[in-house]
Structure 1
Amino acid sequence: MPAPRSWQSETARLGNAEPSDPTGWFEQLWSSAAHGDITMPWDRVDPHPALASWTGAPAPGGASGTAVVVGCGLGADAEHLDRLGYQTTGFDVSPTAVQAARGRNPGSSVTYAVGNLLDLPPAWAGAFDLVVEIYTVQAVNRSVRDALTAGVRSLVAPGGTLLAVQGAARQPDDDGPPWPLTRTEVEAFGRDGLEAVSIEELAAPGAAPGRPGTWRAEFRRG
């Protein structure tokens, strides 16, 4: 039996396959992983370091309010927020990814759901006190970037917070996926009543000095 192909190479092949359906390839990717044809995408059990350091180390269960993780994948970030005490939803455009998240986290109190940033359920509009978006927008073709960031913004409740973590780019580059964000593109999360609290570029682990890092941007709705 041949060894599974790398999920990164499969992403590079699928990500540009069908411009008319810019998010449809995610299900193909996760389905291939479920069948053992490729390695498991975004496979981690710990929260992303940019999220973990932002939340700090509060006592488990001390947080309150609702939280949502956009493009939750296998659920590591959603489970982190759940442990902190948030009533957490994690959604992904891929039904296979959602099934994998449920299987990896049996007994979890996180609500895992299928959802598409380009066609979100009306009930989710302004429903979450904390919205966490990590690497989802950058994974989709830049042609729908405005619509994707608008979808993310729409989830934030009055008085709520958005944390966006994205790869940093010095200038727009159509050679993806991924398609890292420029500072201007990150600032675009701060519309529709959201205002920037902080936008910082973190050093990417193992990256050479001077290379683009990772944006961590916090926004708040008044």
Structure 2
Amino acid sequence: MKLFHRLAAPFRAALRGLSPVMAPLDGSAAYPSPPELRVPEELKRAVDEESRRKAGIFEAIYAGAEGGGAKPPWDYGAVRPQLREWAEARNLAGGGREALVVGCGYGSDAEYLAQLGFRTTAFDFSPTAIAAARRQHPGSEVDYFVADVLDLPGDWLGRFDLVVESLTVQSMPPDQHSAAARSIAALVAPGGTLLVLATTRDEGAVVQGPPWPLTRAELDDFAQDDLTLRQVERIADGTWWGAELSRDSS
């Protein structure tokens, strides 16, 4: 935990005062968008990529926020607008089906799906985020878990009618993207749907992450076994990917 507090301080300084705006899909009034997370160079030098995943840079950010620092820059404080627009365009209703939210943070997206009638499970790598989600949503019907996307419970495989992945894979180093995509794809039940929301990166573009936005080719990594990529769009003025995949019901 001392490591988390030590790592959190540079993030609080780096994230202070960031407030860009993203235009919604329909061209109406802009809604807030989390900025690109820029990690101080001294932190990148101090902790190698594997250690960052294990020690928890993102746990450090959540711990810093709980200690009165800046809130995580990817957190809207409400359901992600891209998810809401996708759901409303389809008149989405859970009807008791099961949904999973990957990298749920404080749980806004998970609570939204529960309100739509899904039996919802949500997980995050950060214990602090999960504790905060449970505290912020007392009496919630969402099942919140601490879990690693690269080491998920076996009884989750092929279980969920809807899986929502938003910004989690891109928070990981690029050499882990493919493995994370395969792990997420394996969660989708027969007849189920996977929604992937990520910021965009052109092929060959070099970025100093985190985050490491996804290329179009990386979206294909989610198409595992009989999970088929049905639709890919550049949304939010072309700055985000919206990808929908489905698994045959047979």
On whether the aligned pair clears a TM of 0.5, the verdict is: yes
In the alignment, which of 199, 204, 209 is matched to residue 176 of structure 1? 209
Other-structure match for 2:245 = 219
Superimposed CA distance per residue, residues 92-124 of structure 1 (whole angstroms, 9 cap, x where no aligned partner): 001000001111111111111101111111111
Distance 2:242 2:183 in 1: 18
1:45 is displaced (CA, Å) by: 3.0
Q: Which runs of 5+ in 2 are unaligned?
A: 1-8, 17-34
Report sequence identity in percent. Answer: 41
1:12 aligns with 2:45: no
Runs of 4+ deviating beyond 6 Å: 7-10, 57-61
Equivalent residues in 2 for 1:37-56 (5 A)? 38-41=69-72, 42-56=74-88
* Cα distance, 1:82–1:55 mapped onto 2, change above 3 Å: same
Higher helix proportion (structure 1 or 2):
2
In the alignment, which of 226, 234, 243 is matched to residue 193 of structure 1? 226
Distance 2:189 2:90 in 1: 23
Aligned partner letter, 2:246: R
Q: Is residue 99–residue 118 contact of structure 2 (8 Å, CA) maintained in 1?
A: yes
Distance 2:57 2:181 in 1: 19
* Cα distance, 1:58–1:109 mapped onto 2, change above 3 Å: farther
1:44 is displaced (CA, Å) by: 2.4
Other-structure match for 1:208 = none
* Cα distance, 1:57–1:15 mapped onto 2, change above 3 Å: farther
- State how many pairs are aligned: 212
Superimposed CA distance per residue, residues 125-155 of structure 1 (whole angstroms, 9 cap, x where no aligned partner): 1111100000011111101111111111111
TM-score by length of 2: 0.77
RMSD: 2.4
1:57 is displaced (CA, Å) by: 7.0
Distance 1:21 1:194 in 2: 32
1:78 aligns with 2:104: no
Distance 1:146 1:60 in 2: 29
Q: Is residue 170–residue 211 contact of structure 2 (8 Å, CA) maintained in 1?
A: yes
1:21 aligns with 2:54: no
Q: Which runs of 5+ in 1 are unaligned?
A: 205-211
* Cα distance, 1:47–1:9 mapped onto 2, change above 3 Å: closer
Q: Is residue 38–residue 209 contact of structure 2 (8 Å, CA) maintained in 1?
A: no
Is the deviation greater in 64-73 or in 54-63? Answer: 54-63
Distance 1:218 1:126 in 2: 17
* Cα distance, 1:57–1:64 mapped onto 2, change above 3 Å: farther
Distance 2:70 2:189 in 1: 36
- Does the residue aligned with 1:63 lie in a helix, a strand or coil? coil
TM-score by length of 1: 0.86
